[in-house]
Chain A
Amino acid sequence: MQGFAYEAPSSLEALRARLAAAQGAGELTQVLAGGTDLLVQMKQGQRAPGLILDIKRVGETQALAVDGDTLVIGASVPAAKAKAFPLVAEAFPGLAHAIDLIGSSQIQGRASLGGNLCNASPAGDTIPALIANGFEAQILTAEGLRTLPVEAFVTGVGKNALAAGEVLLALQAPVPGPRSGDAYQRFTPRTEMDIAVVGVGARLTLDDAGVIASARIALGAVAPHAFLAEAAGAALVGTRGEPEALEAAAAAAMEAAKPISDKRGSADFRRRICGVLVKRVVAQALERCTTEGAK
């Protein structure tokens, strides 16, 4: 690795001050959370920062709590810890599954959801699950804080909406109410230690008559970044998830998908798998609305 300075500020104020100083001095700064992508990229010479700012000692980035009606997951909380958090496991089983698909047990001991999001891989497993669940990114800026929906946070392959001097602090989402369920599934040739060819996340909420009142469907690995397929969700609202409604949602998702052909699959294959996964994920989320979601 090319040489760099390492610092680990222990408070939000210290982090903000150090970021401002680094920006003023023109230091190429890189924030470190779990490092499972970053260190590999640095070893391979893809990134050569002059300053590494380790944010794990900033308490806000290690938060894992329910604050009123909001679930807060600090940006540097490791995957293994996030997926084991009772509310995540109980009320966000789709997100928990997406987290469980990240790398190996060793990688999950370090990799954070915040890092997974900032790395902005088109195939990142947690990103569609975060988008479907309506997560917002809480961002530390030079002046204060700002929030951005996760679907607006990822902007391209490996690109995110953070401006120079900004840091992702936490992810937060409303705790789901009754008759609500989420799901995430991906297609990979191997069952473990692989990268999504297509990933689909969904969050559905039913009204008390069992009709879908809201539906968010997010697609991964079929465009430069994960995104909210609004038309696919809209095709489900007002239905009970009948086969025709699932077909309509799948068709809308396939229409919205803009995949490329690469070694993992052709564009045509990805588009078709996207349709299949939308139907499976919606069916699974629907089932959870009436079972696990019936709190």
Chain B
Amino acid sequence: MKVHVQTEVNGEAVEFLCDPTTTLLEVLRDNLGLRGSKEGCGTGDCGACSVELDGALACSCLILAAETQGRSVATIEGVATPEALHPLQSHLLKSAGLQCGVCTPGIVVAAKHLLEQDPNPTEEAVRYFLAGNLCRCTGYDKIIRAVLDAAAEMRGEAA
């Protein structure tokens, strides 16, 4: 039997029918056309599908879509505005913190969550916090620099 779910994604009310076995990631990509979140591993190891559910950072491959009834989901699609990229996004571009780009949405969502909790993290804190976001291209260093530079810009300091 299909489950009827009413929830909120990036501030907009959405409604869908899904099989109970469907994950939030599948609904985002296949039902709602939000394909920014990627499936890397499907087991919560890589972080490419990172979203926020009621403000908690989580892997959407490990959330049943049915669980989101009445909750609030935030995805990569809600990060930039029509006018401008988020500082994390512009600094990832500037620092060449991405190559193939599959990990990037998850990194932006996770790093944004970190900076909202801690606007001035140490390099070590950024590295630990993003340990669940795997990148097989960059070697991480440019990503970490980009996050630290974005944090500085968001604090109003010259990056």
Contact = CB atoms under 8 A, between A and B. Distances in A.
Contact of A6 (B66, B129, B130): B66
A196 to B, nearest CB: 16
B66 A110 contact: no
B59 interface: yes
A107 B67 contact: no
B56 interface: yes
> Looking at chain B's contact residues, is the secondary structure mostly helix, strand, loop, or mixed?
mixed
A110 B24 CA distance: 14
B47 A39 contact: no
A39 B59 CA distance: 11
Contacts of B64: 6, 32, 35, 39, 52, 54
Interface in A1-41: 1-6, 8, 32, 35-36, 39-40
A109 B69 contact: no
A35 B62 CA distance: 7
Interface stretch (A98-106, A152-160, A228-236): A98-106
B1 A192 contact: no
Of B44, B45, B57, B61, which is in contact with the most chain A CB atoms at under 10 Å from its CB?
B44
A80 interface: yes
Given A36-B44, A104-B47, A105-B57, A110 B63 contact: yes
Contacts of A148: none
A107 B131 contact: no
A106 B20 contact: no
A107 B44 contact: yes
B10 interface: no
Contact of A110 (B23, B58, B110, B129): B58
Contact of B3 (A1, A6, A107, A109): A6
Contacts of B7: none
A103 B44 contact: yes
A110 B62 contact: yes
B57 A80 contact: yes
B136 to A, nearest CB: 15
B113 interface: yes
B132 interface: yes
B99 interface: no
Contacts of A6: 3, 20, 64, 66
B85 to A, nearest CB: 23
Contacts of A1: 21
Contact of B69 (A8, A78, A106): A8
B20 A52 contact: yes
Contact of A3 (B20, B52, B56): B20
A80 B132 contact: no
B132 A103 contact: yes
A106 B47 contact: yes
Nearest to B1: A5
A184 B49 CA distance: 31
Interface string B1-20: 10100000000000000011
Interface string B34-50: 00000000111101001
Given A106-B110, A193-B45, 8 more contacts: A39-B64, A56-B67, A80-B56, A80-B57, A104-B131, A105-B129, A107-B44, A110-B63
12 contacts: A2-B21, A3-B20, A35-B63, A40-B62, A81-B56, A103-B132, A104-B47, A105-B113, A106-B47, A109-B56, A110-B56, A110-B59
Interface of B: 1, 3, 19-21, 23, 42-45, 47, 50, 52-53, 56-59, 61-64, 66-67, 69, 110, 113-114, 128-133
